[in-house]
Homo-oligomer: A and B are copies of this chain.
Amino acid sequence: MPPPDPARRLTQRDIARLAGVSQTTVSLVLNNRADADSRIPAETRDRVMRVIRETGYVADPAARRLAAGRNRILGVFTYEPVFPSATGDFFHPFLVGIEECAEHCGCDLLLFTSAPTVAGRKRVYHQDHRLRLADGCVLLGRELDREDLTRLVAERYPFVSVGRRDDAGGTVPYVGADYPAAVRELVARTRAMGHERLAYLGHGSSPESYADRFRGFAESVPEPLRLSPGEPADMVERVLAAGVTAVLAEEYADGVALTDLLGKRGVSVPGDLSVLTLGDPTRPAPTDIDFTGFRIPRREMGRQAVEELTELIEGGEPVQRLLPCEYAEGATLAPART
């Protein structure tokens, strides 16, 4: 593959020749180097700048990266399909935040779309990844690959996860949502309305985000009762028999499914039973139920993740930060029947 020659792009040497200086000088001017040694008089600087402006010269980013090791390009890796697909709507706000912050700090975003899906999973470290083209990388997805994380940490590649992650052979930098606190608040509000027996509907484990929710629940409820989303059909009866008056659904879609089931059984929400959801819908759940629950600060998480990443690239320390979720008043929480 012979280096293509589209109109023979300008190089610093060309600029140097036109300005009657050396390539070194052009580089110095371009990077605004005003070191003690190598100071360049305004006249020379202006001459070079003028030629640059007139020719519209722009440094080759690849060469720049190679020589200096920096790029102002941030990678974005998404474990879940972001654009097409069902989960797209959930991830969109994160990307909005990421994009906003990138624009703000003059960075371009490299979407690692080339990662092939092998056995239903994507991996950062696939054959021929372009990780090193970016200065660092933001990781997005409900569940990250632990091998990827371990290797990223080991190689000391600058990255930030959107969402809290357990350690992986070292500290994993992240900007997450404070699910435990959000769930505790929800539990407190629910109890303040007279509910004494609460249940948690969901897995409560595995992806950190689920585990965190359940932890918040377990921490604030004396005898935490957990129901699996796949429970047999008599779940409703068992719940009621157990004296449960409020259910917290880990997943929005589970909340919808439960409410449907309750409707069929003639149990009214929130008249007979309150149903809360722990976050925004990650799967499309067509419904117009206005659930009480909380909002994940997705946009802000994306934004701060990029912020952290740039600081990390500048040599800062890895940070782990949790953002508060916002209580969302809805129509599915009512005082417990007495």
B-binding residues in A (CB < 8 A): 1-4, 6-7, 9, 56, 58-63, 65-73, 82-84, 88, 92, 95-96, 99-100, 102-103, 106-114, 116, 125, 127-133, 151, 154-158
Contacts and interface: CB of A to CB of B under 8 A. Distances in A.
A151 B6 CA distance: 13
The count of identical subunits is: 2
**Could you tell me the dominant secondary structure of chain A's interface residues?**
loop
A239 B133 CA distance: 59
A13 to B, nearest CB: 15
Given A6-B157, A113-B108, A114-B106, A83 B99 contact: yes
Nearest to A75: B108
23 contacts: A1-B70, A3-B67, A6-B155, A6-B157, A61-B133, A62-B62, A62-B65, A62-B133, A66-B66, A73-B110, A73-B130, A83-B96, A83-B100, A84-B96, A84-B99, A84-B100, A99-B113, A106-B116, A108-B112, A108-B114, A109-B110, A110-B110, A133-B133
A72 B70 CA distance: 20
A114 B61 CA distance: 13
Pick the most buried of A62, A63, A102, A109: most chain B CB atoms within 10 A of its CB. Answer: A62
A132 B1 contact: no
Contacts of A103: 113-114
Nearest to A135: B4
A2 B67 CA distance: 9
A6 B156 contact: yes
Contacts of A83: 92, 95-96, 99-100
Given A73-B110, A111-B111, 14 more contacts: A6-B155, A9-B155, A56-B151, A58-B125, A58-B131, A60-B66, A62-B133, A63-B66, A71-B130, A102-B111, A102-B113, A107-B113, A109-B113, A110-B110
